[in-house]
Structure 1
């Protein structure tokens, strides 16, 4: 169980590094777009669309990273008062009851959304926009599948914490 947990954490760390790189690209893209717009009175639709494409990827995959880093939202003023075993149980049950069903619903439900976009060869509606709109839509089931993997690692980590707190 520990090897699986470590493998999942390493994979999440790789994605975290990729997201940091994408964030840098997004910042550079926004800066360049602002410079072009205000100094040269010119702007490219593709650059503006790339901003929200990168932001969407960072946000969608960042959910899994924040789960690993325990940076997700919860009622900390109550949670911090519990002992480690109760915290682990709350994390496990919350993940099983709330997170996994939601992630499974979104991952499974978004396949037809992406498939329809791919089948029709959806592109940007704006002239000069980015092609392959299905590619960014494909990040939805991919990121929520990754969230499911991250949630399984989170459950394994909390099982280990529960066992260690009982010793």
Structure 2
């Protein structure tokens, strides 16, 4: 169980490094776009769309990374006063009964949405916008699969914490 959790953790951390690179690229993209718009009075729809594409990737895949590193939202002033064993039970229960059902719902519910974009070869509606809109839309089920993988690692980690707690 420990080896599986460590393996999942390495995958999640690797994606986190990739997201850090995407964040730098997004900052450079936004900086370029702002400079072009306000200094040179020129703007690119494609560059603006790339901003939200990169932002989408960071948010969608960042949820799994945040889960691994306990960066998700919870009521800390209550949670912090609990024993490690109770914290592990809450983490396992919340993941199994709240996170996983929602992630599975989005995962399976997004297939038709992505398929429609792929079948129609959806592109940007704006002139000069990016083609292949189905690529960014396909990140929805992919990111939910990643979140589910991260959740499995989180559950395993908390099972081990539960067993070690007194």
Calculate the TM-score normalised by the size of structure 2. Answer: 0.99
Structure 2 alignment gaps of length 5 or more = none
Query: Deviation string for 1:71-121 (max 9, x for gaps)?
Result: 100111111111000100000001000000000000000011000100000
Structure 1 alignment gaps of length 5 or more = none
What is the alpha-carbon distance in structure 2 between the residues aligned to residue 10 and residue 16 of structure 1?
10
Partner in structure 2 of residue 143 of structure 1: 143
Partner of 1:81: helix, strand, or coil? coil
What is the alpha-carbon distance in structure 1 between the residues aligned to residue 104 and residue 165 of structure 2?
30
Partner in structure 1 of residue 122 of structure 2: 122
1:48-63 to structure 2, matched below 5 A, reads 48-63=48-63
1:31-70 to structure 2, matched below 5 A, reads 31-70=31-70
What is the alpha-carbon distance in structure 2 between the residues aligned to residue 112 and residue 41 of structure 1?
40
User: How many residue pairs align between the two structures?
Assistant: 166
Partner in structure 1 of residue 103 of structure 2: 103
What is the alpha-carbon distance in structure 1 between the residues aligned to residue 39 and residue 3 of structure 2?
54
What is the alpha-carbon distance in structure 1 between the residues aligned to residue 38 and residue 72 of structure 2?
37
Calculate the TM-score normalised by the size of structure 1. Answer: 0.98
What is the root-mean-square deviation of aligned Cα atoms in Å?
0.5
Q: CA deviation at 1:134?
A: 0.4
What is the alpha-carbon distance in structure 1 between the residues aligned to residue 84 and residue 152 of structure 2?
19
